Structures are given as structure tokens and as C-alpha cells.
Amino acid sequence: MKKEKRGFAYYAHIYKMILLQDLKSKMSYRSDFIISTVGILFTDIAGFISFWILFQNFPEIKGWHYYEVLFLYGFSLMAMTPVQCFFDNNWNLMEALYTGNFIKYCFRPINLFFYFISEVFDIKGVGQFIFGVITVVYSWNKLGILLSFRNIAGFLVGVISASLFMIAIMNFAASASFWMSGGTSQLMILMFKFKDYARYPIKIFNRVFQIIFTFIIPIGFMAYYPSLYVIRPEEVTLLTYLTPIYGIVLVYFSYRVWMKGARQYSGTGS
């Protein structure tokens, strides 16, 4: 029998059907959706206010001014959107494994990772994205950055590339569930919290943390390195240009680790 070929169009169609079902279920609990969305919005606003208060007392932090850091903040919010919207089901992986519900994903004739991840779409991340766009546009204007093809293209490539790093980090953290009997939730929370450091320039940290945030937990690529191309082109390093390649490699590797754990899953054993 000839094996059916399943490409992008096939998976896009499947994802559309799953997405519609997920959105329908979420809309049936509108009050919960509204409260959660407002909560995320207030969290983002609180971050904005914290920068304003900080720079009311300090005109700059190691040569970085208010609107430059604000640009990084908005950039990081935009980069966070894909993992927030499309990969939120990673937070449910530990429970699915513990209850045995994960076994249902192993018997469908589609990619296991795609099937599991696509079941949840967190629409609240859209509000975060909009707030990030507003913050970037505001700081872009205040910094007087030229609205050129070079800057816009570099910015878009940078945001897309930066998003890959948080996706990879959360994939790695979630995949630990396949080998750890507990504590994965705390690990994911810890990794997710690291995003808060992405809104600051790497240069303000000491040398040890600069290395950690570049090569071990690469949150420096979630805003700082790709943003240099736009806000400080004279300080662009090789790492800025390597951001897309590094991000793709890291996401692919995190996917392989996740799938390796999934393939050895055999149920709860009860």
C-alpha cells in the first residue's frame, strides 16, 4: 500500500479544525476568558510602569536609556506571543502523562507533537502581542529610528527568530516530564520566569550571567541581540546575525528531545 503523503497543507487543515473546536470551547466560558485577558493586560502594564518608575530615578542603566529598554520590553512581548498562543499545552503535559490521557495521542496517524500542541490555542496571547506592538511603535518613534526597509525587515526577522528561543526553552522544560516523576511544573515556571530578564540589555549583567543568558539559557536572543540591529546597529555582533540559525537549530533539537520522550511513553503502568 502506498503511504499517504502529508505535507503542510494537510497539517494546516487539521490545525484549523482543531483550533475552531478549541475556540468554541473557550467562548463557552467567556467570563473566564475576559478575566484572564484583563489579568495578562494588567501584568504587561505593570511591566511598563516599573520601567517608568525605574528611569525616573536613574536616567540610564550602563548607557541604556528609557526608550531603548522599553523597546526591548515590547520586542520581548511580541517574541513571547507564539509560545503563549500555540505551545501553551506544554503546561498540561505532566498531568496528561500522570493521568494516562497522553496515550490517546500515540494512536493517531499524525505527528504526535503536532497533535498534542495543537489541541490548545491561548487566544489571550493576542492581547499581549498587541500591547507589545504598541510599546515598540511608541519607543521606535521616541528613538527616532528610520522607518526603512532595512530596519523593518531586520525587526520582523528578529522577532520571528527571537520567538524560537522561548519555544525551545519551554519544549525542553516540558519534555523533562517524560523522565521526571515530579517537579516538572516548578521547572517550567522557573524557565518561564527567565523571560523577565529578556527585557533588559545583556550588558547590564556581570560576565557570568552574560555567558549563561547567551549560551546556556539563551534569553539574550529573545530581545537584546536581535534588537541591536535596529536600535544600536553600530553594536551589532555576529550573534545578532546568527540568531535565526541558532533559533532554528535549538527548536529542532528541543522537538527531537520531546519526541524521544514521547516515543518511550507506555502509559501509567496501572
For 67-88, the pLDDT digits (tens) are 999 999 999 999 999 999 999 9
Greater confidence, 269 or 185?
Answer: 185
DSSP H stretches of helix in the chain: 8-27, 30-57, 66-86, 93-99, 112-118, 124-143, 149-175, 184-193, 207-211, 224-231, 238-263
For 48-65, the pLDDT digits (tens) are 787 778 777 778 888 999
Does a structural domain hold residue 269?
no
Does a structural domain hold residue 221?
yes
Does a structural domain hold residue 268?
no
Does a structural domain hold residue 218?
yes
State residue 270's pLDDT score: 43
**Inter-residue contact 72 to 224 (CB < 8 Å):** yes
For 193-236, the pLDDT digits (tens) are 888 888 899 999 999 999 999 999 999 999 999 999 999 999 99
**pLDDT, mean of residues 9-15:** 87
In this prediction, residue 32 has a pLDDT band, given cuts at 50, 70 and 90, of low
Does a structural domain hold residue 170?
yes
Classified as helix, coil or strand, 197 is helix
Does a structural domain hold residue 2?
no
Greater confidence, 108 or 118?
Answer: 118
Mean pLDDT of the chain: 88
Joined grid coordinates for residue 96: 496528561
Q: Which of 154, 141, 158 is nearest to 75 (CA)?
A: 158
In this prediction, residue 162 has a pLDDT band, given cuts at 50, 70 and 90, of very high
| Cα–Cα distance list, 24 to 4, 19, 31, 32, 42 (Å) | 30, 9, 14, 14, 25
**pLDDT, mean of residues 11-27:** 80
Number of domains, the chain: 1
State residue 135's pLDDT score: 94
In this prediction, residue 173 has a pLDDT band, given cuts at 50, 70 and 90, of very high
State residue 43's pLDDT score: 75
**pLDDT, mean of residues 89-109:** 90
Domain that holds residue 247: 8-263
Does a structural domain hold residue 60?
yes
Is the pLDDT assigned to residue 33 strictly greater than 70? no
Does a structural domain hold residue 210?
yes
State residue 3's pLDDT score: 47
State residue 122's pLDDT score: 86
